[in-house]
Structure 1
């Protein structure tokens, strides 16, 4: 029996595409996503909220939300 993933891969691809299109520098946004994922990995290591969602996927979701919802503050 296959496990159901807690996210839709097409949604992740769409969000990642939105991030890339909104960025003035593709390399810079890639590094920002990687840095956030790395930071979240260490912050969430103890809690393990959703072990199926990788830190990089969570970072893409958070950063794309910040694009569409400017009231969310992030780096």
Structure 2
């Protein structure tokens, strides 16, 4: 039962999240750099949305992966 309640909280399943993370890594020229970028964005989002009730159940790192994978069409995100 715990698994089904966890799935209900997340709008993104694990396989889709893994695919997005893999897309980010494959698009990046440096795995370490993209990992640091995801971590930095997650940390920023955590503090920016601390008081926000936007989606409190979605962890900042998951939100960062989703956002960054959506931005793959913008090469400056990966190239920095």
Q: Whose helix proportion is higher, 1 or 2?
A: 2
**Regions of 4+ moved over 4 Å:** none
Count of residues in correspondence between the two structures: 72
Q: 1:14 aligns to what?
A: 19
Question: Once superposed, what is the RMSD of the aligned Cα atoms?
Answer: 1.8
Structure 2: gaps of 5 or more residues: none
Aligned mates of 1:42, 1:32 — CA distance in 2: 16
Could you state the TM-score of these two structures normalised by the residue count of structure 1?
0.85
Structure 1: gaps of 5 or more residues: none
Residue from 28, 33, 38 that aligns with 1:28: 33
Is the contact made by 1:6 and 1:52 (CA closer than 8 Å) also made in structure 2? no
Residue from 33, 42, 46 that aligns with 1:41: 46
1:36-60: CA deviation from partner (whole Å, max 9, x where unpaired): 0000000011113111210000000
